[in-house]
Structure formats: structure tokens, C-alpha cells
Amino acid sequence: GPTGGSKDDCPTNLFTASGECCRACNVGEGVVQPCGVNQTVCEPCLDSATSFPGHPSAESGGVWVSGSCRECRVCGVGFGLMFSCKDSQDTVCEECPEGTFSSEANFVDPCLPCTTCEDNEVLVRECTAVADAECR
């Protein structure tokens, strides 16, 4: 039979012009150049160009959606991280429940608990979903 594997051995069911089975990109990788004349070119979804100081660079900034890398969804102000952006799972955000807040839009911080004023302090500003309480 023909060498180089039969059509049954090709999981992508796609072939290059020369009859090679096109390789599929792994989870967490995106297709840079789809297969055709040449073999598929993949590259990992890299950390976001906008990395946040103080956060480990392991927080992936790319998610692999239907064959291409997209930037991770950012949780807006008033929303916190529920599930991290990873491989093919985009960021899942939650609206900050009462008693918590999120004053920064990013894809790494959960909703944080509001500050409670000490006995000798006065509450200057109530805590909202978008800003912490302020005490004096």
C-alpha cells in the first residue's frame, strides 16, 4: 500500500498538497498558518502582553478558540474572576456580590472583601461593587 499512512490514520482528515496528514494543534495552541501547501504551523497562546505586576506570569493571557488564539476575556470593574482563562476555557467572571468589590479590570483578580472600619474609625465612603470602603 502507499507509504506515509492511509487516510484512516489522519485524525484531522486534512492533507497537505503533498498528501501529508495535517497536524492538529494541541490544546493551548493556536493555528498560525493553516495547513495547505505546507504543514500546519502552531504556536502556544502566550501570556498577555498586558501582564499585571505582582501576578505570576503563569496566568495565561491567551485562550484557544476555534483554532485561533484570542486574548483572554477581561473581567470589568465590579466583576471578579471566577475561573481562570486556560487552554480552551475563556475567563469566567462573576458580578461582585454584596460585601465585595473589584476596582480593576483584569483577568486575574477575584472580587475582594470590603474593608471594615475599626471601632475608632469613621466610615467616609460605603463599599460598592466597584470601590472599597474608606475609613478615617
CB 107 within 8 A of CB 79: no
- The pLDDT assigned to 69 comes to 66
What amino acid occupies position 111?
C
**Distance (Å, rounded) from C-alpha 29 to C-alpha 21?**
18
- The pLDDT assigned to 50 comes to 34
CB 100 within 8 A of CB 131: no
**Distance (Å, rounded) from C-alpha 45 to C-alpha 29?**
5
**Range from 3-12, 13-22, 29-38, 108-117 that averages highest in pLDDT:** 108-117
pLDDT tens string 72-100: 888 999 999 999 887 667 889 999 999 99
With 0.85 as the threshold, say if the pTM is over it.
no
2: CB partners within 8 A, 6+ apart: none
Q: What is the DSSP letter of 131?
A: B
pLDDT tens string 15-57: 888 999 988 877 667 777 778 888 888 877 765 433 333 333 3
Which of 8-12, 36-40, 127-131 comes out lowest in average pLDDT? 8-12
64: CB partners within 8 A, 6+ apart: 25, 27, 28, 29, 30, 45, 70, 87, 88
- 109 vs 64, higher pLDDT: 109
Cell 474593608, residue located:
115
Q: Which residue spans within 27-113 are E strands per DSSP?
A: 29-33, 41-44, 62-65, 68-71, 79-83, 92-95, 100-101, 112-113
- Structural domains in the chain, sorted by start: 1-71 (2.10.50.10), 73-135 (2.10.50.10)
- 52 vs 6, higher pLDDT: 6
Task: Return the SS3 of 36.
Answer: coil
